[in-house]
A = this chain, B = another copy of it.
Amino acid sequence: MSEQKLFDVAVVGATGAVGQQIIRLLSERDFPIRELKLLSSARSAGRKIEFKGREITIEEARPESFEGVDIALFSAGGDVSRALVPEAIKHGTVCVDNTSAFRMDPDTPLIVPEVNIDRISDHRGIIANPNCSTIQMVHALKPLYDRYGISRIIVSTYQAVSGAGASAIDEMLRQSREVLEGRQPEPQILPVGSLPKKHRIAFNAIPQIDKFVENGFTYEEMKMINETKKILGDDALEVTATCVRIPVVYGHSESVYVELKEDFDVEEVRRLLADAPGIVLEDNPAEQLYPLATEAAGRNETFVGRIRRDLSNPRALNMWIVSDNLLKGAAWNAVQIAEYIAVQQK
């Protein structure tokens, strides 16, 4: 083997649900790391995390933390990214940002490697990781977009509570226990931690993820709409989204209606998806085989099934797309991007 270049890497938000998955994936993928810096808020600084048999002490993330860092993966919230990504760039660090802070910035590439890795070189120090619910959808639709063209997407999501962080998982499990014991849960976090009203998530479905925009959509829905257009580089694409939180721990599911620009053959659609990188086709009604959140949890792939031609529009099809929102929807997509950066910088 040729001598490998090694990188100084930082993970910002090292104690969060996504940060922990990033650290696990960097180890599992044998990412060419010389030094790994784990950064967090002051609150978590001082804690130790094991990485490849070594103990690394978490440090508070500060502007000067990025001195000498080649690649930083951010998942500590939009405010942290807005404050520290520009500082990291000053130090020459290439930042993979998992928050929404820079996603719609025209100078920032928004990357799903299987979809638009060709845009990665356009960056000025920041590469944005799309929203979890967007990533798995564009990942699954890309082979159809390339082969037939897509004119319109209508998606309804079934999103896991882990997308709202570890505290939302705790809340959902706690509420579930309370309901099973005949008690009335007192919601504290969901749907949106910073908003006054809380709704019970245990044994319920909440049609609100993130705050509302004036047009009646939520930010989560607008992210799916705008990010999908940006990633596919297609402003004419019509996208509608309804985003719903359901009592699932890991794994977002999506019911997707897609209008294609050309006639298609359903068997060819299945073949295209089966052959696409990172996609697992699970589509056999006779065997009751279709993607399930509980089975996608812990895996890096995007799972697709329930593929069927629409009965009212022969140019449209319906499908069911599932992926682990913390992995392909966040940590794995970010690590994939970091791997491409590493190859470029070799």
Which listed segment binds B: A56-64, A191-199, A333-341? A191-199
CB of A216 within 8 Å of the partner chain: yes
Contact between chains at A208 and B154 (CB < 8 Å): no
User: How many whole Å from A222's CB to the nearest CB in chain B?
Assistant: 9
CB of A9 within 8 Å of the partner chain: no
The contact string, 1 if C-beta is below 8 Å from chain B, for chain A 12-46, is 00000000000000000000000000000000000
The contact string, 1 if C-beta is below 8 Å from chain B, for chain A 149-163, is 000101010100000
With contact pairs A244-B255, A311-B225 given, residues A207 and B306 touching in the complex (Cβ less than 8 Å): yes
CB of A200 within 8 Å of the partner chain: yes
Contact between chains at B311 and A246 (CB < 8 Å): no
The residue of chain B having its C-beta at the shortest distance from the C-beta of A291 within the complex is: B207
User: How many whole Å from A230's CB to the nearest CB in chain B?
Assistant: 15
In chain A, residues 60-119, which have Cβ atoms closer than 8 Å to a Cβ of chain B? none
The residue of chain B having its C-beta at the shortest distance from the C-beta of A185 within the complex is: B294
Contact between chains at B288 and A320 (CB < 8 Å): no
The count of residues in chain A whose C-beta lies closer than 8 Å to any C-beta of chain B is: 60
Contact between chains at A312 and B152 (CB < 8 Å): yes
Question: Which residues from chain B contact A290 at a C-beta distance below 8 Å?
Answer: 207-208
Contact between chains at A242 and B215 (CB < 8 Å): no
CB of A212 within 8 Å of the partner chain: yes
Q: Which of B196, B238, B266, B306 contacts A242 (CB 8 A)?
A: B306
Contact between chains at A255 and B207 (CB < 8 Å): yes
Contact between chains at B288 and A242 (CB < 8 Å): no
Contact between chains at B216 and A308 (CB < 8 Å): yes
Contact between chains at B308 and A217 (CB < 8 Å): yes
CB of A48 within 8 Å of the partner chain: no
CB of A176 within 8 Å of the partner chain: yes
**Whole-angstrom distance between the alpha carbons of A287 and B247 in the complex?**
22
Contact between chains at B292 and A204 (CB < 8 Å): yes
Known interface pairs A204-B294, A207-B306; 17 further A-B residue pairs with C-beta atoms within 8 A, sorted by A's residue number: A177-B180, A199-B288, A200-B292, A200-B294, A206-B292, A207-B253, A207-B291, A207-B305, A207-B320, A212-B286, A216-B266, A216-B285, A217-B311, A242-B306, A244-B253, A246-B246, A247-B247
**What are 13 A-B contacts with C-beta separation under 8 Å?**
A158-B244, A197-B288, A199-B292, A200-B294, A205-B248, A205-B292, A207-B290, A216-B307, A240-B257, A240-B310, A242-B255, A242-B257, A242-B320
Query: Which 6 pairs show the lowest CB-CB distances between chains A and B?
Result: A216-B308, A238-B312, A156-B156, A212-B285, A156-B255, A197-B288
